């Protein structure tokens, strides 16, 4: 296994201005990743042994809600704020100043998140997915995001040249749209609740936008940057990237009604969601041509496997293609009637958020952190532990959710009683995720400490 970011000391002169904000956001992301992983293991144990940690604050419902919020708003969002800022600064040659504003926004974001999850543990939570935190949290998080996460848009607006890249389009689009749909959802779901089924429709619209137009779009931007960067070759079929970008952002926002098939919303609205979900296969095919077509040329897959950073991105793009095809198939009426009351759809979301977004973030971290800190990865063994633990856990957990959910749906459609299964598998995969994340955090924190120590020594010299 080649460790290109481990054995070569990078030129980090251009990264000096980004070091403080990037390190802050990434350390915060690591803390939340470990917390979410520990809660995931607790939730799996409680599902298998309901009497485990039997107290009011740690009921299964509260633990799973907090775990999901910490993973999305804590780990993934903090990490994407760091990577998006670095990415747009590199692509636009933007001289990043006033980093204290971004750090202040990050402090507000994470402090508010602590308050929100504490309220959930105490029992003050809403009943809408990823909107469970008290309503006073929403406006503060939106303001914090504008302070911390709007810098990619600023960098894009102040770019010195008119030429742009696909990576910029996705990151800027995601950074621009997130506060808009987050505030709209807060308003229509929590502050001035819409009447009837409109509230449920808005809540579902928010979840789909959050997963696709913030998390997945940012990860696509990262993939569009690192694949040609590391392989040192142009993307295959790059002329199609413009079509992929616009169709992705066009159809993703309309897929929400497909997640509500069988609910008491007008049938024509459900049909719009199904059509949008099926049409979303267009950007899936285009990104597959861009990514997998590039890997297929001149030993690209072998080079990706031998790259510490690119192997994560390659696995992430495979997950994105796979989950996109599955969503286009299983969010249609026939299949939805079979699996709507199973964990199949949870498996799809897990494959998107972890298999694609998180895998791509890991790849970006292995590339960026040595360049920002000017240090080397402390342990190659911990890199191996991290990779194999989370990869195997992802494969097993996804298969358990998808196959088990589909089989359960078939049995339920035949009237056969079902018991919740897969308890041991979920415990083992949750433990493997925690092990891999602990190895990554230990390695990353050691790298950051080395970099800060070296910088202090250089200043004294």
> What integer pLDDT is reported at residue 420 of this predicted model?
55
C-alpha torsion angle, residues 141, 364, 361, 384 (rounded to 10) = -140
List the one residue out of 34, 144, 18 whose CA is nearest residue 82.
18
Distance of CA 238 to the CA centre of its chain: 24
Predicted confidence (pLDDT) per residue in 258-314, tens digit? 999 988 999 999 999 999 999 999 999 999 999 999 999 999 999 999 999 999 999
Please state, in angstroms and rounded to a whole number, the distance separating the CA atoms of residues 53 and 41. Answer: 12
Q: Which residue has the tokens 């990043």?
A: 96
User: Mean pLDDT across the stretch 54-71?
Assistant: 93
The two structure tokens encoding residue 377: 């990865």
Q: In the chain, what are the domains? A: 4-460 (1.20.210.10)
> What integer pLDDT is reported at residue 418 of this predicted model?
60
Confidence of residue 156 (pLDDT cuts 50, 70, 90): confident
Give yes or no for residue 8 having a pLDDT over 50.
no
> What integer pLDDT is reported at residue 458 of this predicted model?
54
More confident residue, 48 or 188: 188
User: Mean pLDDT across the stretch 190-210?
Assistant: 94
Report the first-to-last Cα separation within the chain, whole angstroms: 36
Q: Which residue has the tokens 């010195």?
A: 160
Give yes or no for residue 10 having a pLDDT over 60.
no
The two structure tokens encoding residue 449: 């400490």
User: Mean pLDDT across the stretch 366-387?
Assistant: 94
Predicted confidence (pLDDT) per residue in 215-258, tens digit? 999 999 999 999 999 999 999 999 999 999 999 999 998 999 99
List the one residue out of 401, 258, 396, 261 whose CA is nearest residue 327.
258
> What integer pLDDT is reported at residue 160 of this predicted model?
75
For 369, the 3-state DSSP assignment is helix
Please state, in angstroms and rounded to a whole number, the distance separating the CA atoms of residues 390 and 127. Answer: 30
Give yes or no for residue 355 having a pLDDT over 80.
yes
Give yes or no for residue 9 having a pLDDT over 50.
no
Cβ atoms of 113 and 74 within 8 Å: the answer is: yes
Residue 375 is given by DSSP the state: -
Which of 173-182, 251-260, 300-309, 411-420 is least confident? Answer: 411-420
Distance of CA 428 to the CA centre of its chain: 22
Cβ atoms of 220 and 248 within 8 Å: the answer is: yes
Cβ atoms of 263 and 184 within 8 Å: the answer is: no
Task: For the chain, give the mean pLDDT.
Answer: 91
List the one residue out of 245, 216, 227 whose CA is nearest residue 363.
227
List the one residue out of 325, 326, 327, 331 whose CA is nearest residue 287.
325
User: Mean pLDDT across the stretch 153-177?
Assistant: 88
The two structure tokens encoding residue 456: 């202090």
């Amino acid at each position: 296994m080649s460790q290109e970011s481990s054995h070569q000391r990078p030129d980090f002169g251009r990264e000096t201005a980004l070091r403080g904000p990037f390190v802050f956001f990434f350390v915060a992301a690591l803390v939340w990743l470990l917390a979410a992983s520990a809660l995931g293991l607790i939730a799996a144990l409680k599902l298998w042994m309901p009497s485990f940690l039997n107290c009011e604050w740690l009921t299964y419902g509260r633990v799973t809600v907090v775990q999901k919020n910490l993973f999305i708003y804590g780990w993934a969002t903090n990490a994407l704020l760091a990577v998006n800022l670095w990415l747009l600064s590199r692509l636009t040659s933007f001289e990043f100043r006033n980093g204290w504003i971004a750090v202040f926004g990050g402090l507000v974001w994470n402090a508010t998140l602590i308050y929100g999850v504490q309220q959930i543990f105490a029992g003050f939570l809403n009943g809408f997915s990823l909107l469970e935190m008290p309503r006073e949290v929403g406006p503060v998080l939106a303001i914090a995001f504008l302070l911390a996460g709007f810098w990619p848009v600023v960098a894009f607006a102040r770019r010195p040249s008119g030429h742009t890249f696909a990576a910029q389009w996705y990151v800027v689009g995601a950074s621009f749209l997130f506060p808009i749909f987050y505030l709209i959802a807060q308003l229509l779901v929590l502050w001035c609740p819409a009447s009837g089924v409109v509230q449920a429709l808005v809540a579902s619209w928010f979840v789909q936008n959050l997963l696709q137009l913030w998390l997945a779009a940012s990860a696509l931007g990262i993939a569009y940057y690192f694949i040609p960067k590391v392989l040192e070759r142009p993307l295959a079929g790059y002329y199609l990237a413009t079509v992929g970008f616009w169709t992705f952002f066009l159809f993703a926002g309309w897929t929400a009604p497909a997640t509500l098939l069988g609910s008491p919303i007008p049938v024509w609205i459900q049909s719009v969601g199904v059509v949008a979900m099926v049409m979303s296969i267009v950007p899936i095919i285009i990104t597959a041509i861009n990514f997998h077509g590039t890997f297929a040329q001149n030993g690209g897959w072998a080079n990706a496997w031998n790259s510490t950073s690119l192997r994560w991105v390659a696995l992430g793009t495979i997950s994105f293609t796979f989950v996109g095809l599955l969503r286009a198939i299983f969010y249609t009426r026939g299949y939805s009637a079979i699996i709507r009351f199973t964990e199949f759809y949870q498996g799809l979301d897990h494959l998107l958020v972890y298999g694609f977004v998180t895998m791509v973030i890991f790849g970006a971290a292995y590339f960026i952190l040595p360049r920002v800190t000017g240090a080397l990865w402390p342990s190659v063994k911990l890199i191996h532990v991290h990779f194999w633990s989370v990869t195997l856990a992802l494969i097993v957990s996804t298969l358990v959710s998808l196959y088990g959910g589909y089989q359960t749906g078939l049995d339920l459609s035949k009237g056969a009683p079902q018991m919740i299964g897969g308890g041991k598998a979920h415990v083992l995969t949750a433990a493997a995720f925690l092990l891999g994340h602990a190895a990554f955090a230990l390695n990353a924190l050691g790298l950051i400490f080395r970099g800060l120590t070296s910088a202090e020594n250089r200043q004294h010299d």
